Every structure is written in structure tokens, then in C-alpha cells.
A and B are shown apart, each in its own frame.
Chain A
Amino acid sequence: MSEEKGLLTGEHYLLGDHACAEGAILAGCRFFAGYPITPATEIAERMSVRLPQIGGTYAQMEDELASMNAILGGSWAGVKSMTATSGPGFSLMMENLGLGIMLETPCVLVNIQRGGPSTGLPTLVGQQDMMQARWGSHGDYAIIALSPTSPQEIFDLTIRAFNLSEKYRLPVLVMSDAEVGHMTEKVVIPPPQEIEIINRPEVQRGDIEPDHFRIFRDSANGGEGYVSPMIKVGDGYRIHVSGLTHDERGYPAMYAEANEWNVARLMDKIHANRHDIIQVEEHDLEDAEVVVVSYGISARTSLWPIQQAREEGLKVGYLRLITVWPFPEERVRQMAKNVRALVVPELNMGQIVREVERCAAGQAEVVGVNRPGGDILEPHDVLNAIRRAAGHV
């Protein structure tokens, strides 16, 4: 039963991409700018149909450079905004992902990953953009990336992505993949009152004399990780923001100390709030000798081999990174002290495994289970890796 105009409250049998779009809509997204690309196109399609039904606007841009920029503009106009893409488009979006980070602009960028590099495998799955998600735009910054395993979860995590982006004022990435995006499963869209929606910190028209306002003001008490309030364009604050290194006023500041202040601001807000941002799912860790650390579709497909391994009597635990970035360093570091090995299945030639290795720091053996894009991992490959890691060959 739908209760609020335009919302599809109820149970649906939805394509992952469509679930993503519905999550965005429930989160309050009313502006989408995108460019068609397999396997993310269905998100744009759904948004083009749904947004006009609820007073939102869909813009099909000329390319992904434009898409990413347009959602930054949309967000500064005070409207929650999103774009969605895949590998080649993700590369193009890196330029203005950086602008979004620099201007501290809330918005959501969804990457339905396919096999790469280059045009790669347009229709087939991959998880090869995980490091690009972390480091893809030039310069130093911190990022938030979430990784769903099902249509229901891409729905849920798209809402969470909006909430985090609004709360911490930055573009948040939903790093899904072709498998989840193109899979159809049951999705429950809850009534809006059951969903927590976070809106950006914002001063409103008239709150402050515009000449007493600074758009990137540091916290009053000098606290790390303070997120300064935004304005809505047109509210009379007459702000200026620039992709250049800037000061509190947003004015270009071309010297090293300014860069230090500027970059620290972008990184501290994520680091200081990491416990709020990081979400993991874990089970069977109490007695675990081997822990499978994974994310997204590879985490999901690892559950079956884990189950089989446990049936074989192997003590296997499961740690799923719902938040991949920031990486749950503390959790992995602590876990590495108590287990024999960490097995890291992923659909790339070894990306997140490097983070796990870094955090394990030699305390536990770290084993990657890898294949590049094209298909999900074979259950027996993961099972064999678990067996070997447990010393049962």
C-alpha cells in the first residue's frame, strides 16, 4: 500500500538497479543527472520515469563529466542529487568527484561495476574499481564507499549513502556491481516514517548576517571532524566556493598552510567519525581460525562455501565490509591477532586484499581469492582457499 504520494511503499519484485533508484527517491533525491551505460542504465531509466511523478527532475546529460557536475549544482541548489554509472563513466566522473569533495557537496554516485579495464566487459560483473573509488581523483581526500549484496541492500544502502553524504557533506559512493544491479529479488519499501532520513547541516535564510557567515567555518571549539553548515543558493548568503585550495570563506588561498588546513578538513571529518560511518556484518567469529573478509557480491557468494567449510568442521568466520571505505582498519587489525588466516575473495586481481594485508601486518596469513571481471567466484575456489588457509588441504 502506498501511503504518501509518489512513494511505492510495499513489497516489490525489483531489479537491483531499480531498487537503487527507489532507495534514492525515499532518501529524498529529487535530481538525477546521468548518461546511459551498461549495467547502470536501468537506474537512469527508473529515475526518468519516477522523478517527474514526485516533483523531481531527470536530466540526461551529454557525458559523465557533465552528469557529475550537474549533480553538484543540483545539490548546491538545495536538492538531494544523484548520478549512476559504470567503469568508463566512473573514470570520467573522477574529475568532478574531486570538485564535489573539495566543495564539500553532498551527493551520491553509484557505480554498478563491470569488468575492465577500458570498455572491458559491459554486461558482466567485476569489482575492479574498488581502489579507484578510494584514490581515483587526484589529490588527498577521504571517501565513503558502501557495497551492497542484493537488491534489498542496494535499496537500503542508497538511503544510507544519502544520509552519510548529507551528514558529512561529501559525495558518497555506492560501489555495487553488474550482478546485484541486474538481479531481481524481493525488495520491501518501508513506509517513510520508518526510515531515518538525515538532512545536511544548513543555515537558513536570515539565520546569520551574510557578512558574518563563512561557508567553510571551522568548529567553534576546534573539534576535529566538524562539518560546517551549508547554505542553499538563493538564500542570500552570497557565498563563493572554488575548486582551488581555499580558506574559510571559500576564497582561493595559494599557499601550503591553506592546503594543509583544507586537506585536513576533508580527511578529518571522515576519520573522526569513522565509528559512525563504518558498518560491517560479522558472524561465527568467536571460535574462528580462518575469517573470510569480503564485500558486495563476493561476500554473498562466499556464504555457501563458508557453510560447507563449517560442515567439514573448519572454524570459519565471516566479516563483510558493508562500508568498504573508510576501511575498518581497527577491526581487521584486532581480528588478525586472533586468527590463523584471513581469506579475501573479490572480483579483481587483488585490491581490498592489500588493505587487509596492511592491517594484518604479518599477524595472520592473508590469502586472496581472485578472478578479474566476467563471472562471480566459483564456490569451490573459495572453499579450497578456506581449506588451505585452515591447514586442511
Chain B
Amino acid sequence: MSSSERLRILGYEPLTESDWETGLHPMDDLLRGERLPHIWCQGCGLGTALSTFVNALQWLEKNQEWDLDKVAVVSGIGCTGRIAGYVRLDSFHTTHGRAIPFATGLKLANPELKVIVLSGDGDLAGIGGNHLIHAARRNLGITVVCVNNFIYGMTGGQVGPTTPHEARSVTSQYGNYEYPFNLPYLAAASGASFVARWTTLHARRLGWTLRDALAYPGFSFVEVIAPCSTAYARWNPDGKGLDPESLRRRGLEIMKHYQEVGRIEHDIHPKDAHIKLNEKGEMAEIVEGEFVKESRPNLQEAIDQRDVWAEKAWQRAKKALDERPDLPAQTEHIPRTEVQLGGFGGQGIMSAGKIIGRAAALYDQLESCFTQSYGPEARGGAAGSQVIIASDSIHHPHLVRPGSMIMMSQGAYSKYIPNLAPGGMLLIDSELVTLPDDHRADITTYGIPATRIAEEAGNNRAANTAMLGFWTAIVGAVSQDAMRQAVIESVPPKTVELNAKVFDIGYERGLET
């Protein structure tokens, strides 16, 4: 189909003029000119973070042949979250804290994409902290750039998960009584394979690191310490309030301060990558550098390693489907037939019920509805399963008055026997269920030593199969061939012969009764 035909079908009419504003700035092939000016305050570090990022992409395009059409940027909410809206790339401004899981979906659905999360400290380490550590743990092949300004800027300067101890903010006016995350340490401990930190003062070094981080195959995490000239600076030493003139100056002062307190230390343990205030509450130390570069398979590589197992499983499933025989459908009208199975965990009460249902549905071509008892009683202890078989639709999926029961433990017998319909048939493993003196006289009871029969055939776990053979012969709602086939295809391949034999014994015993 041609483009024009496709557009006609879509009812889509392209604009007649270009929608993009370009030609204003050396970076504007990667910036949305029509969205500028940006919303950030004067003196804010976010502009530097953005231009450094764009620079790194341009470098990768030029020197490593990156196709920038394949780059997607995802942001959360906050001042940094607005970055996604300014880059001329496929870009997503998602919900607060959720940039990383959104990016996870993009990356896993199309591993060819280069996916970058650019968001703030509150977004990534506060509300989105759980996603951060899990993406690092998985070694998902994306880059997370976390711009850390120590505060919730957009909402007006509240204390956050990275606000230094004792620092002030709108909601910590008496000094922050909590302790902040050390983000490189958190990321590294969670499994990030590339971890670095720079302040926006070190824009060139940050740029070099970003190039490496973006090209890194595993989860790369870059923290960018950036001044928040409005919200953070307002509350902390030498804050000059909100006057625009002093805001710009404030930004510069902070950068100068970074120069004084920044200490570059590559390859140190990230737990030693401190950010410290002095007793006056001024920034006293920011350790920066590239701390971790580790190589281990990224998530996609680890996923791809399983393909061979998936292929084997598929071949097995296909073989089982292809090998199903054609058996004659049931021609008689089968009225609604309810069966209750009961026993203890491990006896195969669930699989026995399912086998009856399967035989009826797939081979006798009847309606059949199988349910099992969930809930606490299904763990360990008593196990119960139910099957309804009928020629007509089964509207009500629960047993109303079961006409037959297969009981393989004393507990199950006591629990279920009151429900058996008058005149109903009770089938028991005669060595596991002892009939009490007041056993119901209005029903017929049939017993075989199913567990012993199975044991003698070589595996006591086939006791349920013996009961199925017995039930088939006595109750007759499902045909013998259908049941036998359903048993064969439901048991472990190595036990097919044994189960078939045990089924036949049970069936013979049923006929003799």
C-alpha cells in the first residue's frame, strides 16, 4: 500500500506547513524550538544537563553512527521531567515516578531502541524508587540520568529523599531530620553496571561520561548534581529569595561553590561517594566521578539465552496436540452429572477431576466444567475438586447435588458425604476410608484398595488412576476409551504404561462390582 493510500484510509491530512521551529540554535535539530523558551528558572542547572545530554547524542551520531530516530527519552514529573518535552526525539512525559517502567516496556518490546530516562531525584528516588532499584537489579539496557537538586522543585521546594541531613526546605524549616539516599551507592548496590556522578559545573566530563553511559549495554546510572536556584537555594545558606537578578547570581554562586567542594575520585566504592554539609548547612563536599563499570549480561541477553528452552517446550506441546487420537463422540444424552472428588494433598485429586472433565470435553464431546477448591483448605490438608458433565449447557458451575463421589481420605469422606445425592454412588479407597457405624444407608458404596493396587503396580501415586478406572466402570457417564486416553495424556510420560495398567485394573474391578 502506498503512503497516500494509507493516509486516505486513515483519514489523515498532513499539515501543509512545517510544524517545527528550527534554525535558532546550534542544537536545534535535537531541540523543539517551538517549545522554547523553557519553563526553568534562571540559574537552574537543568539547562546545562539538557545541553550536555544533547551534545552527547550529537557526538554519538557523528562518531558512532547512532541513528537518533531510534532514541527514545522518557521522563516522569517535576522540573527535570520537562526535559522530555524539549528534545526533538520520540519522547514521553509519563506519570510521577513511572518513567523507568514505561522505558522498560519500550526497551523490552523493541530491544533495538536506545531508551533513556531523564528525570529528577524526587521522581526517580522518591515515588519511583522501587522501579529504580528493580531496573538496576535486572540490568535492563537503558540509561537513567537522574538530575539531583536535593528538593522537590516544581511543587515549591519540599524536602525529598535526597535532601541532605539538616538542610532546610518548605517542609523542613527546622532542618531535615531524615537522611538522604546516596544515589550512586543505591544504584550500584541494586546492580547497575555503570554508575557515575557529576555536577553541572563539570559539563565536559559529564558529557564524556554520558557518551559512555548511553553506549553501555547494561543498566547505566548517571547522577547529575544541579543547582535549584529557586527552591533549594531559597532555604539554604546565602539564599537570596526569589528576585530574578539574584536568582541568576545565585545559580552562578552555587556553581562556584561546586568548584570549591567538588572532589573527583574515579573508581572508588560508591558508598564513599559522599555529599556532605558543614555545620552551617553549607555544601562541604561532593565526591564525583565514574564509580562503577562492570560487565555482565544485560536483561535482553539473559532473556535470549532461554530461547532454546522455549523452543523445546513448544515442540513438546505441539507433539502432544498432534498426537491426539480421534475418538467417537458420545451419542447418548448425558444428563447433568456432578462428581465430587476428595482426598489429601499429593493424591492427585485435582488431576483426577481434571482428567474426567478432559475426557468428557475433548473425546466424548460433552459439556464439562471442572473446578477445584482454592483457599486455605487447599494447602496441605484436604483437597477437593469438582466436575460437572452434561450434554446440554452447564449454566450453574457449582455442584448442587453430586450423584457420585470419589473419596480417598477419611477427612474428605466426612467433609463431603452429607452432600451426596440420595441414591448416589460413593467410591472409596477402601484402605483409606473406614465407614462409620452411622454411614448413610440411602447411598451405594463401592470400595477398592486403590493405593495398594497402584503400589503393587509400581507407584502408589497412581492410586487416583485406579479410582478413575473404577469410577468409569461404575458410573458410566464418560466412556472408557475417552477416560483411558485422558489419563494417558495427563500423566508424566514415564508413567504412562503404569497408569494405563492401573486404570485397566480399576476398570475391571468396577465391572466386577
Contacts and interface: CB of A to CB of B under 8 A. Distances in A.
Interface of A: 1-2, 5-6, 8, 10-13, 30-31, 33, 38-39, 49, 52-54, 57, 59, 61-63, 65-67, 69-79, 81, 95-96, 98-99, 103, 123-124, 179, 182-186, 201, 203-204, 206-214, 217, 219-221, 223, 226, 228-229, 231, 233-244, 249, 251-252, 297, 300-301, 303-304, 307, 376, 379
B346 to A, nearest CB: 20
14 contacts: A12-B362, A38-B374, A49-B310, A53-B313, A53-B314, A74-B105, A76-B92, A77-B106, A79-B110, A103-B92, A183-B371, A211-B20, A252-B93, A301-B395
B104 A238 contact: no
B368 A304 contact: no
A70 B11 contact: no
B90 A71 contact: no
Interface string B388-408: 000001011110100000000
A252 B82 CA distance: 10
Given A73-B102, A77-B105, A251 B85 contact: yes
With a 10 A CB-CB cut-off, give which of B103, B367, B370 has the most chain A CB atoms: B370
B313 A70 contact: no
Contacts of B104: 33, 59, 61, 66, 69-70, 73
B368 A212 contact: no
Given A241-B92, A251-B35, A69 B98 contact: yes
B92 to A, nearest CB: 6
A53 B311 contact: yes
B62 interface: no
A369 B72 CA distance: 51
B78 to A, nearest CB: 12
A1 B19 contact: no
B112 interface: yes
Contacts of A65: 97-98, 101, 131
B112 A209 contact: no
Contacts of B19: 211-214, 249
B361 A185 contact: yes
A262 B184 CA distance: 40
A78 B109 contact: yes
A70 B13 contact: no
Interface of B: 3, 6-7, 10-20, 32, 34-35, 69-70, 72, 74, 84-85, 88-95, 97-98, 100-110, 112-113, 130-131, 134, 303, 306-307, 309-311, 313-314, 317-318, 321-322, 324, 354, 357-358, 361-362, 367-372, 374-375, 393, 395-398, 400
Contacts of A249: 19
Given A11-B362, A73-B106, A184-B354, 5 more contacts: A6-B314, A69-B102, A185-B369, A213-B14, A238-B89
Q: Which 6 A-B pairs have the closest CB atoms?
A: A73-B105, A52-B310, A242-B93, A66-B101, A70-B105, A77-B109
Nearest to B30: A238
A237 B88 CA distance: 9
A52 B108 CA distance: 12
A384 to B, nearest CB: 16
A208 B69 contact: no
A124 B375 contact: yes
A203 B12 contact: yes
Contacts of B395: 300-301, 303-304, 307
B321 A8 contact: yes
A245 to B, nearest CB: 12
A228 B12 contact: yes
A301 B105 contact: no
Given A124-B375, A207-B3, A241-B93, A236 B105 contact: no
